[in-house]
Structure 1
């Protein structure tokens, strides 16, 4: 056994302090574990060392990394060399604790085991070690095995060191009590670091699961938004990587770390989380008269009443003396044809379009003034004011009140996200997610931000959101547009202050639009795009 002087103890304390700082800063579990073992070897001047991790079912110890200087062995860890050593069972076939293996003993009892000479020890089964020695011409002697437990006493690993060398003579000696205390201190620090990493990873996984939970809720409310919640973050990241790789132009300095990427991806997943508060009949409003159901069928029923009323009037007229049956039939035929034409017109008007003509809007209002007798026996206008208002919606299927409800989803998104205690590395999620309906000219919503007031990430998410909405083929209120038309619309948006023209240039130049289209769009939508004809883009 070698004893340490004050200088050596001070040096070890320095090493332990440095490791403690490194453990707190290491984001990678693999490199962290390797550093733990190498520092443990260095602290004790051990010839070899092994680090075990408990299996997922907690029934055995798996070799994670094994190092031996004399034999030039380096397996597991970052070496790339597979460990060909079998696991150490923690229990026997009857479920009793395995006490024959020193590593299993230390793990089961959470106690350190310090053996001066394994060939003189008869408590543990060292047949595997003796076989190892015989195969490699090695002589194992001193062993120090220390369990690593977290704050709840849960086993996170076992450190095993072999053959302590005397620094002066190089002779194999036993591990001292000072060695053991230092390694126990190291094991305690390492367990805390590993537990922290595990907790952080679990919290991140929980956060992503909660995000997916919100999206599942939105998808269940509206199957039409499911693809949007998936595709917008995907397209956002594609465009972000293209900007990251750009070395020329106004965005040449934009760069992302892995942390930045995770933050942006999460913002993309959450960009429409406020839709969980939006009524289903508004989100999925496929026609102008749809609420819980499409009320065009009620209007069809009223037309049936008018058609029958016309026939009844004609029959009554024919019953009068001297009635001109031919003229009555001719007038009836004209009335029936007009009513059927009006019914078909309203059916077409009920489908949202790109722009309803003023003449068609006036025709709806004229039909609305027809008189009919309702179930209560009272004569009334054929269409209510609310029905006429909906049927004269110029663009799409939403009236002004419903559009405000839809637009409110972004305010709810911001409100929900800003209410969360985001950690520092995710602090920008609300801004990224909440800016995708803003415009570069300040005419967007909900805050009327201008380009200079928005991050690059929020600006590029706006492009991803619009492009996906234009090309989506699963919306109840419209068909997916061809690729060329979508690019023409986006190009005009770049010209009129809607989206960032610099980002749009990269979107086209790096062919992000085409890569996304080939992967996710219906092939029938992917027509030829003449980039030279895209508004606002200069090849």
Structure 2
């Protein structure tokens, strides 16, 4: 066995450094930084002047991840932001293993390759290296190339170190056996850390894709709330970033980490997941009479039957008079029918108008509706007589505003309870543990009048308060809701201002939303040009420009 190079103290110091590096690698979450620490640490442990770290791709190539050459001040890849620019190295050429190049050979054979002098080595193609040397004046001599193997003994990368430097003479020397063993030990730890980080990253991507798939399915469930689950996270992220920089009130203590920002984003994506149990005929109810079937047409058909009955009745009276069985005043009879038909048309138009739910049902309108319901009767096929409007239809048409009854509104509101129940049942990791609270509280208010729990401001996290504003603003500016036309920015902000004044939304977050013009940042991307109007800030309730 070749003796270990250097003193015992030097060896122990390097082992200690190796241990420290292994601990650091196991906790590093940033993948490019992880790779950088591997190469820089390996160079330091083996006193190498240069080095390259490659990863094996699914394309059977080696990708340059990090390049360092201290004597030439070259630092590319990793966290430097400097693009490497070198093409990937193929592991195979026309199906033939690329054993002529050192790095691919180390991958394909799964063994460490230690070359004392590249200029004297045989069996490997160093033409690219020599071209680099000629162009830079560098001299690439000693090479230590170590494959990085995961727990399945699969090579996932290559660590290549160049030009070991003697600590005393500062001359280029071959990599000794101690250097090789330390590099191989580090490569083993690095491969494990890389595999773990890749696995965690892949699981996080899978989880996020799963969440977005659920959100997309909810959006697709109703054509009238399409992209709501997609757009709320956009507003939430914009507001969270702005709040992070604010010093207003509670926000001066709001300094979320990258993981906490991601937690807010995840909660925003999942805030309406409970709508999977909400009946579509309630979510999509565009008129007051709409149910599982649209009863608007049924009422229209009954009105047509009423019209036909009147015309048949007049025809019978006229026929009887002609046959001498009664009297018929032609002009008066026609006028009476015309008057009744005109009144019928007016009542039909009234029902059509209130059925949309756009106007508030005053007591006068309710009286007229009840009168219409009893004024007109129709006859079914069995000869039985029925009022124009059934009791349930009259109840639905009497909805004060909008298209939902109190019972249907409770069904819609129940989605928040389901959201919180569903998310609370999931074993979220520690960095996502607040997702159920944030997502399930987006209909709570600062004054405790919200639902489902009637929470007050101090009982809600800032993330939950952000969610509430994001949800409201998206709904106000949405152009695809059946029960209302799309509102302009100024209209939406006025409503938001009134909600701030009435204690519905967080005042500090509203101030940031206005000060930082989050509304305009969102509008430029998601609103139509017709919705982006002039906004006199002094007219926004509850807002004082700073």
> What TM-score do you get using the length of structure 2 for normalisation?
0.92
SS for the counterpart of 1:146 is strand
The answer to whether the 8 A contact 1:353-1:394 is kept is no
* Change beyond 3 A, Cα 1:205–1:375: farther
The equivalences for 1:130-529 within 5 A come to: 130-318=130-318, 319=320, 320-369=325-374, 370-529=376-535
Cα distance, 1:85 vs. partner?
5.0
Q: Deviations over 1:48-74 (max 9, x none)?
A: 22222224412x223333333444444
* Change beyond 3 A, Cα 1:188–1:228: same
* Change beyond 3 A, Cα 1:140–1:457: closer
* Change beyond 3 A, Cα 1:328–1:269: same
Residues in 2 aligned to 1:192 and 1:140: alpha-carbon distance in whole angstroms: 30
Q: Deviations over 1:408-450 (max 9, x none)?
A: 1111111121121111111111111111101112111111111
After superposing the two structures, state which structure 1 stretch, 498-507 or 208-217, moved more: 498-507
Q: Deviations over 1:74-114 (max 9, x none)?
A: 44444455546554331122x12122222111100111122
After superposing the two structures, state which structure 1 stretch, 179-188 or 357-366, moved more: 357-366
**Partner of 2:90 in structure 1?**
89
Determine whether 1:19 maps to 2:46: no
Gaps of 5+ in 1: none
The answer to whether the 8 A contact 1:90-1:108 is kept is yes
SS for the counterpart of 1:415 is helix
Cα distance, 1:461 vs. partner?
1.8
Cα distance, 1:129 vs. partner?
3.7
Residues in 2 aligned to 1:505 and 1:237: alpha-carbon distance in whole angstroms: 16
Cα distance, 1:255 vs. partner?
2.3
Cα distance, 1:204 vs. partner?
1.8
* Change beyond 3 A, Cα 1:247–1:293: same
Residues in 1 aligned to 2:228 and 2:83: alpha-carbon distance in whole angstroms: 43
Gaps of 5+ in 2: none
The answer to whether the 8 A contact 1:314-1:328 is kept is yes
The answer to whether the 8 A contact 2:216-2:229 is kept is no
Cα distance, 1:310 vs. partner?
1.1
Determine whether 1:38 maps to 2:40: yes
Q: Deviations over 1:361-392 (max 9, x none)?
A: 22222222233212343222221111111111
Task: State how many pairs are aligned.
Answer: 537
> What TM-score do you get using the length of structure 1 for normalisation?
0.93
After superposing the two structures, state which structure 1 stretch, 74-83 or 100-109, moved more: 74-83
* Change beyond 3 A, Cα 1:63–1:351: closer
Cα distance, 1:300 vs. partner?
0.9
SS for the counterpart of 2:92 is coil
Cα distance, 1:133 vs. partner?
4.4
* Change beyond 3 A, Cα 1:131–1:441: closer
**Partner of 2:108 in structure 1?**
108
After superposing the two structures, state which structure 1 stretch, 47-56 or 269-278, moved more: 47-56
The answer to whether the 8 A contact 2:142-2:164 is kept is yes
